Structure 1
Amino acid sequence: MRHLRRPAPRPVAVVSGLALLAVTACSSGGGDDVGEVPAPRPSSSTATTEESPSPAPRSTQEPDLAVEVVADGFEHGWDVGFLPDGGALVTERPARLSYVSSLRKGADVTRVRADLDDVFVESEGGLMGLVVHPDFADSRRFTTCQTHEENGSPVDIRLVTWRLSADGASAERERTLLDGLPLSTGRHSGCRMVVDEDGALVVGTGDTAVGSIPQDLTSLGGKTLRLDLETGDPMPDNPFADADDEAKRYVTSFGHRNIQGIALQPGTGEVYTAEHGPSFDDEVNRIESGANYGWDPAQGGTVGGYDESVPMTDRKRYPDAVPAIWQSGRSTQAICGAAFLEGEQWGAFDGALVITALKGAKLLVLQLKDDGTLADVAIPESTNGPYGRLRAARLGPDGALYVTTTNGDDDKLLRITPRT
């Protein structure tokens, strides 16, 4: 277990009237719903960042999508992990873990017995990201990301490795893989994970709404991290692997606000993230090793609070900051989960990056060029609104896309496929 617990800086009140107007899309007061809801876009639309080339024409037909409910009865389903027996695990933010018996309509859902009494369930915090270990068939291991409390007070965010019983009815906590991810009130807790092509665990974290954290390389918040899935050690080829500060050795990118989705591109192994903006500019980013993504609500330390009027990617203050490949613009969609589609059955969507939206209550399908920049954005009609807030997005072993709803009452696990 890697212990990196540090006293978390206290959040400070915003210092200017302008900042008060820039209310976050994911605030502690109103969850992810704060801010103006953008008008629905057409079923297919284009969007580029200032730095992106013009959209390229499509070469194949966009598929119509079919949606079926695999299972329901969840409360804020946060993530999905697929099991070799054809079932799945679903994390629920109010510190619950469920086993789904299959990936087909009418699957049974069983609450998994697990010691989750120390999970801090407040604001956006709780039981969040989940990855099933690649060797699960032998080890029965999976890892969760969860906010941790002691004596009723928030302490930090932790990555915890579990072992699932043979019958799927219970899970035993095996070890804390990494602790010390900052936590304040539960706001901006991150925390999505993916296993990369080298078997390393890649984690996207939030800045906990503390202004100094995103640009502080000695903090694990507002970053992407990369660590050994077995030992919890930072990977030896990380960009800051030789740093004196142990926390810095985990960092692969910084200057992030609140990473909610993370996905590995098939064929390239490149990491893409989906990130909440304040009241504007949600971002999709392609992660470059050691790079700064430009979020700095402390304005280089010149203000003591959390100024959400600053740009999501502040290239005036940080000229080398990496621009997003997509931004939502003047309003947020509160984007969340991310997954790449793969397979000829997806037609024009083969290789596209799918992003879920909470406030936007839709799927966004980002079609990318060979250089990783944006070609087009499509919004499938069948997933534009009828299921409410959409959170997790994971491509299943059967090639279907699995998405969770997070409306807070009778949430669902959805299976999305192209119509044949």
Structure 2
Amino acid sequence: MRRVKAAALRWDELALVPPTLMTAGLLALAAVAAVPAQSAEITEQSEQADFKVVPLTEGLDHPWGLAFLPDGGMLITERSGDLRLFKDGRLESGAVAGVPEVAARGQGGLLDVAVHPSFAENGLIYLSYAGPGEGGASTEVARGRLDGMTLQDVEVIFRATPKSGGTGHFGSRLVFDRDGKLFISLGDRRQIRESQNLGNHIGTVIRLNDDGSVPEDNPFLGQAGALPEIYSYGHRNVQGMTLHPVSGEIWSHEHGPRGGDELNLVKAGANYGWPVITYGIDYSGAIITDKTEAPGMEQPIVYWDPSIAPSGMAFYDGDQFPEWQGDLFIGALAHLHLRRLEMEGGQVVGQESLLTGLNERIRDVRNGPDGYLYVLTDSSNGQLLRLEPAS
């Protein structure tokens, strides 16, 4: 594993995977080809821990987000608009009723799901989704009380403005911090210049109280021309966000254009630069900007070129894989793998690609309360997988 330290660290995908991992990936792929639709367990070697991939269910329609319930159940969103419940080892046949209407087009649809920190007392869950309305769609967040297979008392607590046409770059992840504040990640809706405009929600991370009201210490509260819900801005499309289990910090990653995906530490009031600075170029090959840094704009902790198209992320703090303690796991839609980042002192000191043999887009990864890692694959026959120690 390469070990380097830098303020903004580039990782080149062409030289990332060592030959031993490539061999393991090819062997795993051959094993997959011998059985239908990953119906059998796969064992894979990583640099620090061998593990097996245990399929829990399949038949999910482009699953997007995953949340754990106190009783051991799991809520899974499907981008087409259904909220599913996995409980007692099986996927319930029907969908949870009461989910808001979603604009299930392109990258839009039902996106993330989060459980209130006091769910055991109030039963509240939160959903982010592309919400239709006059002018098009935007990311919305609703909450409701889960009662069996029904959401009761559903209310929309946030609507990103403005609504707009197009079907891309909605974000969106939901994370509660240790103070019970709700963070919502958004995308730029492909209106790239608006990510520097504090007068709308485009390309921002939002911070709210659990009822949707604005916290009194939000960084732009009371600033003329700025929306008070905004916590940070200058983002492109944040599809991964998580809470650091030790520091309590919020971390995020975002899609770059052609190259330039970023891993960031989310700071109050910070500007992450899009599109004034970027390490990527336009998909056409055109130069978006000649700047990769500028005064008053944050540098990423690491960036990827070529792009890995990151989605979903989780720090590992379980006890099933002591070798992975403190590591950061990120799903990759491009190159079809799960990325493990070895962390030291808030910096990335090594990376490796896992699950290469699945040949699947990884949409989400979560650290389970049982100490295992859980993964969602993004397809019309999406799977819920669990990573367990190999022995």
Say yes or no: TM over 0.5: yes
Instruction: Tell me which residue corresponds to 1:309.
Output: 287
- Quote the residue 2:38 is aligned against: none
Quote the residue 1:99 is aligned against: 85
For 1:224, the equivalent position in structure 2 comes to: 205
2:30 corresponds in structure 1 to none
> Is the Cα contact below 8 Å between 1:295 and 1:311 reproduced in 2?
no
SS of aligned partner of 1:379: strand
Q: Is the 8 A contact 2:106 2:168 kept in 1?
A: yes
Identify if the C-alpha distance between structure 1 residues 366 and 89 changes in structure 2 by more than 3 Å, giving closer, same or farther.
same
Match of 2:251 among 261, 269, 272: 272
Contact 2:277–2:291 (8 Å) recurs in 1: no
Indicate conservation of the 8 Å contact 1:158/1:181, yes or no: no
Larger relative CO (CA 8 A, sep 6+): 1 or 2?
Answer: 1
Bigger CA drift: 278-287 or 290-299? 290-299
> Is residue 212 of structure 1 aligned with residue 187 of structure 2?
no
Q: 1:192 to 1:291 in 2, by over 3 A?
A: same
Give the deviation of 1:359 after TM superposition: 1.6
Whichever residue aligns with residue 360 of structure 1, its letter is H
How far 1:114 sits from its partner (Å)? 2.5
SS across alignment from 2:320:
helix
Q: Is the 8 A contact 2:187 2:204 kept in 1?
A: yes
Residue from 140, 144, 149 that aligns with 1:162: 144
Alpha-carbon distance between aligned partners in 2 of 1:362 and 1:294, rounded to the nearest angstrom: 28
User: Which residue of the partner structure matches residue 243 of structure 1?
Assistant: 223
- C-alpha distance after superposition, 1:219-243 (max 9, x if no partner): 212111111012x112222222232
Q: Distance in 2 between matches of 1:93 and 1:364?
A: 23
Query: Match for residue 290 of structure 1?
Result: 269
SS of the equivalent of 1:98 reads: strand
1:352 corresponds in structure 2 to 327
Change (3 A) 1:75 1:142: same
* 2:337 paired residue number: 362
Q: Deviations over 1:217-276 (max 9, x none)?
A: 12212111111012x1122222222324562x2222111100000011111011111211
Count how many residue pairs are aligned between Structure 1 and Structure 2.
Answer: 349
Counterpart selection for 2:232 from 246, 253, 260? 253
SS at match of 1:128: strand
Q: Which one-letter code corresponds to 1:309 in the other structure? A: I
What is the TM-score of this pair, normalised by structure 1?
0.77
Cα deviation, 1:183-223, whole Å, max 9, x if unaligned, reads: 43120010011110111001111000002221111221211
Question: Does 2:151 match 1:171?
Answer: yes
Q: Which of the numbers 54, 58, 62 marks the counterpart of 1:68?
A: 54
Match of 1:199 in 2: 180
Kindly state the Cα deviation for residue 65 of structure 1 after the two structures are TM-superposed.
2.2
Q: Is the 8 A contact 2:79 2:110 kept in 1?
A: yes
Give the conservation status (yes or no) of the 8 Å contact 1:201–1:229.
yes
The alpha carbon displacement at 1:344 in A equals 4.3
Relative to structure 1, is the Cα distance of residues 208 and 74 closer, same or farther in structure 2, using a 3 angstrom cutoff? same
Contact 2:238 2:255 (C-alpha < 8 Å) held by counterparts: yes
Whole-angstrom CA distance in 1 between matches of 2:317 and 2:272: 28
Partner of 1:414: 385
Which SS does the other structure have where 1:322 is aligned? coil
For the residue of structure 2 that corresponds to 1:291, the secondary structure is coil
Classify the secondary structure of the residue corresponding to 2:179: coil
| 2:299 counterpart residue number | 323
- Measured in 2, the distance between the counterparts of 1:308 and 1:229 equals 42
Question: Match for 1:200: what amino acid?
Answer: K
Deviation at 1:332, TM superposition (A): 1.1
Sort the Cα spacing of 1:222 and 1:196 in 2 relative to 1 into closer, same or farther, 3 A.
same
Pairing 1:388–2:370 present: no
Could you state the TM-score of these two structures normalised by the residue count of structure 2? 0.82
Cα shift readout 1:5-31 (whole Å, capped 9, x = no counterpart): xxxxxxxxxxxxxxxxxxxxxxxxxxx
Q: Is structure 2 residue 315 aligned with structure 1 residue 337?
A: no
Q: Secondary structure at the match of 1:213?
A: helix
d(CA) in 2 for partners of 1:307, 1:178: 36
| Shift >6 Å, 4+ stretches | none
Structure 2, unaligned stretches of length 5 or more? 1-12, 23-46, 279-283
SS in 2 for 1:137: helix
**RMSD over aligned Cα atoms:** 2.6
Deviations 1:58-86 (A, max 9, x none): xxx71112211111111110001111111
| Conservation of the 8 A alpha-carbon contact between 1:390 and 1:404 | yes
Which residue does 2:93 correspond to in 1? 110
Checking the alignment, whether the CA contact within 8 Å between 2:139 and 2:186 is kept in structure 1 is no
Contact 2:97/2:149 (<8 A) preserved: no
Q: Which residues of 2 match residues 143-154 of structure 1 at below 5 A?
A: 143-150=126-133, 154=136
Q: Which residue of 2 aligns with 1:32?
A: none
Q: Partner residue of 2:370?
A: 398
Out of 349, 372, 376, which is 1:375 matched to?
349
Residue matched to 1:188 = 169
Residues 15-94 of structure 1 aligned to structure 2 (within 5 Å): 41-42=17-18, 62-94=48-80
Contact 1:81 1:132 in 2 (8 A): yes
* Percent identity over paired residues: 31
Unaligned segments of structure 1, at least 5 residues: 1-36, 46-60, 300-305
Aligned partner letter, 1:229 = D
> Quick one: which amino acid aligns to residue 192 of structure 1?
R
Q: 1:246 to 1:281 in 2, by over 3 A?
A: closer
- Alignment partner, residue 234 of structure 1: 214
Once residues 107 and 249 of structure 2 are traced to their aligned partners in structure 1, the CA distance between those partners, rounded to angstroms, is: 27
Distance 1:416 1:261, change over 3 A: same
Q: What CA deviation, in whole Å up to 9, does each residue of 1:359-379 have, x standing for no partner?
A: 221111111112x11111122
Q: Could you tell me whether the CA contact under 8 Å between 2:318 and 2:370 is conserved in 1?
A: no
